[in-house]
Amino acid sequence: MTPSEIRRLYKITKVQLSYGLDELLPKQPITRGPHLMRKMLFWMKNRHTDKAMGARLRLALQELGPVWIKFGQMMSTRRDLFPPAIADQLAMLQDQVEPFDGKLAKAQMEDALGGPLETWFDDFDETPLASASIAQVHTATLKENGREVVLKVIRPDILPVIQADIKLMYRMARIVSRFLPEARRLKPVEVIREYEKTLLDELDLMREAANAIQLRRNFENDHILYVPEVFSDYCRTSLMVSERIYGIQVSDIEGLKANGTNLKLLAERGVQVFFTQVFRDSFFHADMHPGNVFVSYDHPEDPQWIGLDCGIVGTLNREDKRYLAENFLAFFNRDYRKVAELHVDSGWVPHDTNVDEFEFAIRTVCEPIFEKPLCEISFGHVLLNLFNTARRFNMEVQPQLVLLQKTLLYVEGLGRQLYPQLDLWDTAKPFLEDWMGRQVGPQAVWNAIKEKAPFWAEKLPELPELVYDSLRQGRQVNQRMDVMYREFMAARKRQNKAKFLLGVGATMLVTSAILYSNQIEVLPEVAGGIAVFSWMFAWRAFNK
């Protein structure tokens, strides 16, 4: 290890011990080391004994900086690995950090664009509008048309920090995986690898720009969600330029009320936005925390959501959507057998799973939930309970479902915050039933025909020629079959004739032997001759 890595490891260990995170380790002989280090090397007590473990973990990650904050945010989505007491605290992590110098930000932008910023923009504000762990945002106007824009630039010093901390994370994950068998279930190395990919993806603002363009196009003719326009001509890997929007942060309930916003309709539209993204588009914003969601000032009686920061998106294939919709419907109809069978059919749990036992486990966990009124049931926690139950039956982690679960929890939390009486099921069920109705039955057939119509329209002019070719080829095949059949029958006839002659020859040979043994002189020779001639004709018949 380099000296800088040793210093960083020292700080990480010091922070972890000061928050008592060594208590997360299982009680085994190998884990006595951290406790001895606390006493012998650091002389440091747990300074936060009054706080629960989840809160201590959250505070420690905040103190360690941006990379660890992002790691905690990612871990909060892995509720298949962490208990609610920890996952809920990690979900509270906010990555608001000190901004870096505006002049340096401007230099970064000019380096990305390849020229002075004034070539393309006016009124650039060196004071950042917002600052986060990976990037920060500045405002300006486009020189060509005067439109207000925001310029998002990656922190210049973030990549070396990420690489160094990721390297240390891998070291610690491998040690934990090697020496603590109980911790292997958490798959520490795989978790770090997944985090590394997510983090490096966020460093590519061209990817975020493409996501935003796709999401905006999906809702181009739908007034329930607005995604700011991206000016792709000015976007680079480390720079993204998009339309500046003005809105009320969705968590600012007082501000929404002061603007006269219809909170009930706003909450219901949040649910509608989520299910539309998932089931209609198969492309959903997977980071809809309050910092990324605003509400338009315009038309408060007909409110519109505004989605920002599309760095993390999720996708579902047709099979996942079908199984997910059927799971939701079966679950809320209390058809636990159907839920169990769907998990097996989809391959989410092994095919040799005992369906009866799985059904009973789901019923045991979920029946108490339905003792409450539907409006009090958390849709997100229903999904969470379902996944946790399936995990006991070796359900494989489905990354796309983990992202979806996280997004659903965000949306439901926001909706209940806006309108506590929100009945998410009452809003979602008609959508799911309508979607399922379009996947099966006559409507599905008609949709499939419409979907394939351009293909058939393109092939229609070729159809007469294709039909003619098919008929001609069919006739040629029939002719070949006739020839083959006649040849087969002739060969079979020859074989039958040859077999008959062989039989005659064999009979004459036996007859000749019997006559000869009885000392009859002439007849054995005649029978032998007949046998020889019979075999000659048989050989000739075989070789025609």
Binding site membership: which residues?
129-137, 152
CA separation for the pair 225, 245 (Å, rounded) = 13
List the structure tokens of 320. 């996942």
Q: Which residue has the tokens 């989809």?
A: 346
| Nearest partner of 239 among 122, 152, 308, 133, judged by Cα | 152
CA distances from 396 to 327, 346, 405, 482 (A): 17, 11, 15, 56
What's at 137, amino acid-wise? V
φ and ψ at residue 344, rounded to 5 degrees: -70, -45
DSSP string across 292-339: GEEEESS-TTS--EEE---SSEEE--HHHHHHHHHHHHHHHTT-HHHH
Q: Does residue 201 carry a catalytic annotation?
A: no
Q: Please give the backbone phi and psi of residue 38, each rounded to the nearest 5 degrees, phi first.
A: -60, -40
Question: Alpha carbon of 152 to those of 68, 120, 136, 275, 288: distances in Å?
Answer: 21, 15, 6, 29, 18
Question: Which letter does DSSP use for residue 100 in this model?
Answer: P
**DSSP conformational letter for 135:** E
Give the integer Cα–Cα distance in Å for 461 and 457.
Answer: 8
- Dihedrals φ, ψ of 306, to 5°? -125, 125
In whole angstroms, what is the distance from residue 425 CA to residue 234 CA? 43
Quick check: 57 and 86 in contact, CB under 8 A? yes
Show the tokens assigned to 495: 């074989």
Tokens of 531: 């046998």
Alpha helices by DSSP H, listed for 65-144, are 66-76, 84-90, 102-113
Q: Are 403 and 387 in contact (CB under 8 A)?
A: no
User: How far is residue 540's CA from residue 544's CA, in Å, rounded to a whole number?
Assistant: 6
Q: Say which of 88, 157, 281, 287 is annotated catalytic.
A: 287
Question: Residue 489's CB: how many other CB atoms inside 10 A?
Answer: 10
Distance CA 344, CA 347 (A): 5
Rounded-to-integer distance, Cα 278 and Cα 255, Å: 29
What's the rounded Cα separation, in Å, for the pair 377 and 446?
A: 36
Task: Report which residue type is found at 246.
Answer: Y
Q: Which residues are annotated as a binding site for ATP?
A: 129-137, 152
How far apart are the two ends of the chain, measured CA to CA in Å?
A: 85
> Looking at the annotation, which residues are catalytic?
287
